[in-house]
Structure 1
Amino acid sequence: MHPESQPTFETVLPRRQFIARGAAATLGGLMLDAGLLDLAQAASPASTTGATGGLQWHNWSGAQQAHPTALPTPATEAELQALMTSAQGEVRAFGSGHSFTALVPTSGSIVSLDRMSGVIAVDRTAMTATIHAGTRLGVLSRALDAQGLALRNLPDVDVQTIAGAISTGTHGTGIALPALHDDIVGMRIVTPGGKVVELHEDKDREQMAAARVSLGSLGVISQVTMRVLPAYNLHRKVWLRPIEDLLKQAPQLAQQHRNFEMYYLPFTGYGAAISHDIYAGNDLMLPKPSDDAVMADLRTLRDWLGRFPQLRQWAAQKFIDPNMTDEARHRAYRLLSSVRPMKFNESEWHVPREQGIACLRQIIGAIEKHNEAFFPIEFRFIKGDDAWLSPFHGRDSCSIAVHASADEPYDYLIKDCAPIYRANKGRPHWGKLHEMGFAELSAMYPRWNDFQTVRKQFDPQGRMLNAHLRKLFVKA
């Protein structure tokens, strides 16, 4: 190979995206030429008629399946009321189906909120927006931007509905930024039986503390009112460093930047750091386009060298340029969230901030006992809040997420990582894979019993509970 044809490792790393352009590994004369890694995007789950004529539903990754008796799609709150009045048996709602836990499956009714979408009203004095519950975060961000407004923060996947996102405690990253539900100041919930309950934080403080993160157990949310900000631009910077350097620097970097997160690339010894800060300039620049084929390339590298982890790390490091950086400047929603076509399953827990780095070290060790692993490990910072079932209730936290391809086994993400998370006082993400039940969860949340009291007031017959929620909420 001539020197000028030697592959190089160039890197553009938007959120959960890693460019390994030209990163090559030689095995028996074979070369891996990688492009841009994109960890995957949620699309709508399927709701179809099966071969036998019955209805079928599955979540985005395909891990959760259901055969409901009905899949209604109300377009208005009045239609939702009528549905909740007439529905028989269990009722569960779904937004984008991006939860990996069994929050939705039931043999009763599964309600789609897709037709209940859009911004209803904006109050510029209070700086709030009232929003239909089925509005996808990406759609919401663009609608708000058209009015010169924005959400305070966003997660890295923006296809979730606003109702689904807040109900599961969905969050972005930022040491001073709480999860999305903390900006909810009011909501309307249609309970089993069709009653509409309107809540506002000024007069319903206790009920709002329960409703902000409810796993859909109080009823079906029809609309929310949340705080908004004037639209703003961010400056994103992405860089690669040895993981040991990033582990030492992460707490300080989180203090220095509005949004900071990092990812560890298993079996490479390297991590990717991503920062976002407010940008007032006019020279805007979007990220370079992604190339999703790299995930297949990284899997191929795993397949070739998975039995030889040291050789695998050598091959990755040979082409990594630790001085490579990438920058982008644009509207916040264009940078904080991105597209993810490749499917995966995920387990994510939230540990007290002071234990975050130590826990991450242990998780890296656990994941690298499995040569089949190749998805990056995600590490973020979240400010605490006071919602009763928020994983961040009463404490600032760090989140650590592990992934496996949707077509590969993922049990080790739970079996090997959950004991580490629990030892570090972790709380599982409600929408990510875990095996916790009533006994363990009730000990994790100081206001657990208060939430159960409110839940029973909204749904005394437990019609919003499926098998998964009964495992969480009903004492055996």
Structure 2
Amino acid sequence: MDSGIGKSLESESGLSAGGHWRNWVGNQSCIVRRRGAPTSEAELSQMVATAAGEGLAVRCAGSGHSFTPVALTSGLHLTLSGMQGVTGIDHERKRVSVSAGTTINTLGKILKQNGLSLINQGDIDSQALAGALTTGTHGTGAALGNMASQIVGMRLVQPDGSILVVDERDPDLLNAARVSVGMLGVISEITLQAMDSYNLHEKLWRCTFEECMEQHDDLAASHRHFGFFWCPVPESRHCYCLPDTASVSTTDRLHDVCEMKVIDITDQPAMERGFEKIAYSSEIYPIEYVPNFHELEYAVPVRYGKEACRQVRELMLTKHPTCIYPIEYRFTAGDPGWISPFFEQDSITLSVSGEPGTDYWTYLKDVDDILRQFGSRPHWGKLHFLTAEDVTTLYPRAADFKALREKLDPAGIFLNDHLRQLFA
């Protein structure tokens, strides 16, 4: 019987046999029954409809950059890597429509050629656009929203293969879909609000933790982008491939220090000297990481940011001194996304990481215990400890999102075990 289903699926929609899948760091994996690699919206629609008709769950992996089980399924596993490129640019309104599998770095290059820039982006740019945006990916900037806040429209493939067009004519639907972790349909195309092309001026330096805390408010207010990595020991910066900024340091210390970064828009031409650099926007934002960490990241209301950082720092220095991956600390403005980590809440994001091959779970749970007391919310693609009850408590529009999800996908084909526990 299984063989017959396989032949039917492959002949009707191009689906292939399944197998093993794992994410980029290897902490999540699944055995899938079918795979699909569409190259057009029409092919994608057919694959989803066929799988739904056979009773298979459907999840899309993007570039596999999530540390959580959001991409896992035992049913149909989709990759949109064959759906790449810009499908249209509205130069007058500075809007760009992009196929969902396009990577962030590819989009940046196309925008540069067309005199445009993303309003903001994160420090990894190899992710597929749809997966990155709809899990809550962000950069830093106290007045800047997460990347999903740039979405002004999208096309969602529904269980029957039809296309749900999402745009500003239905603000509730748009705000529900911006950060939806693939639960409202498979995205085929996204339209983003961009802006005129700009250069960024980046400056790096090192200071003590207390210096950082003293300057925290002023740096956040006076720069478009401000963030830092707190490093408990000298080896910490190597965990994230951070440069040695000793030559521009304000301290002789090598432990319990902050690697600081500020970035601002500039009219100056490109240049690079020491730990100061000017370049096109999307050439400044990214950092190169070796995928050797498993990350937890929560959005903490900004008024609690410094205190949350102090408590996690103290935890690492005392109870967990062998956990040496840096704390990464950034800013993000609130947005209207129903299950966005930043829903109507200006936030800082605080992330820590466990070392692969070690038993880091107790450490991450202790960090969670600290951050949840401040009403913090997770990045959906990074490790967290939320329950269904937490979702109801932390997201004022959680009930509305769940009702919409059930209306669009009553059979729950876009859920998996992880998401069903939180949102079914």
TM-score, with normalisation over the residues of structure 2? 0.88
1:232 maps to 2:198: yes
Structure number with higher relative contact order (C-alpha < 8 Å, ≥ 6 residues apart): 1
CA distance in 1, matches of 2:365, 2:419: 21
Task: List aligned pairs for 1:63-212, cutoff 5 A.
Answer: 63-87=27-51, 88=54, 89-201=56-168, 203-212=169-178
Q: Please point out which of 263, 274, 279 is paired with 1:276.
A: 263
CA distance in 2, matches of 1:117, 1:78: 14
103 and 422 in structure 1: CA distance in 2 versus 1, 3 angstrom threshold: same
Q: Please point out which of 253, 258, 263 is paired with 2:224.
A: 258
Aligned partner of 2:152: which letter? V
Measured after TM superposition, the shift of residue 226 of structure 1 is 0.7
Measured after TM superposition, the shift of residue 373 of structure 1 is 1.7
CA distance in 1, matches of 2:150, 2:363: 31
CA distance in 1, matches of 2:417, 2:96: 35
CA distance in 2, matches of 1:390, 1:127: 24
- Conserved? CA contact 1:190–1:221, under 8 Å: yes
Measured after TM superposition, the shift of residue 101 of structure 1 is 0.6
- Conserved? CA contact 1:128–1:228, under 8 Å: yes
- Conserved? CA contact 2:208–2:258, under 8 Å: yes
1:445 maps to 2:395: yes
Give per-residue Cα distances to partners, 1:46-101, cap 9 Å, x unaligned: xxxxxxx9610001110101000112110100000100110131100011110101
409 and 250 in structure 1: CA distance in 2 versus 1, 3 angstrom threshold: same
CA distance in 1, matches of 2:99, 2:340: 22
- Conserved? CA contact 2:154–2:166, under 8 Å: yes
Q: Please point out which of 264, 271, 285 is paired with 1:285.
A: 271
CA distance in 1, matches of 2:363, 2:34: 33
- Segments of 5+ residues of structure 1 without an aligned counterpart are 1-52, 288-324
Q: Which residue of 2 aligns with 1:42?
A: none
Number of residue pairs matched? 383
Percent identical residues = 38
- Segments of 5+ residues of structure 2 without an aligned counterpart are 1-16, 234-254
SS of the aligned residue for 1:113 comes to coil
SS of the aligned residue for 1:346 comes to strand
- Conserved? CA contact 1:403–1:413, under 8 Å: no
SS of the aligned residue for 1:131 comes to strand
CA distance in 1, matches of 2:203, 2:149: 27
Aligned partner of 1:456: which letter? E
Measured after TM superposition, the shift of residue 332 of structure 1 is 1.1
Q: Please point out which of 310, 313, 319 is paired with 1:361.
A: 310
Q: Which residue of 1 aligns with 2:14?
A: none
CA distance in 1, matches of 2:18, 2:107: 34
Q: Which residue of 1 aligns with 2:187?
A: 221
TM-score, with normalisation over the residues of structure 1? 0.79
Measured after TM superposition, the shift of residue 360 of structure 1 is 0.5
- Conserved? CA contact 1:62–1:406, under 8 Å: no
1:347 maps to 2:309: no
SS of the aligned residue for 1:354 comes to helix
SS of the aligned residue for 2:88 comes to strand
SS of the aligned residue for 1:67 comes to strand
54 and 281 in structure 1: CA distance in 2 versus 1, 3 angstrom threshold: closer
After the TM superposition, which segments of 4 or more aligned residues of structure 1 sit over 3 Å from their partners? Answer: none
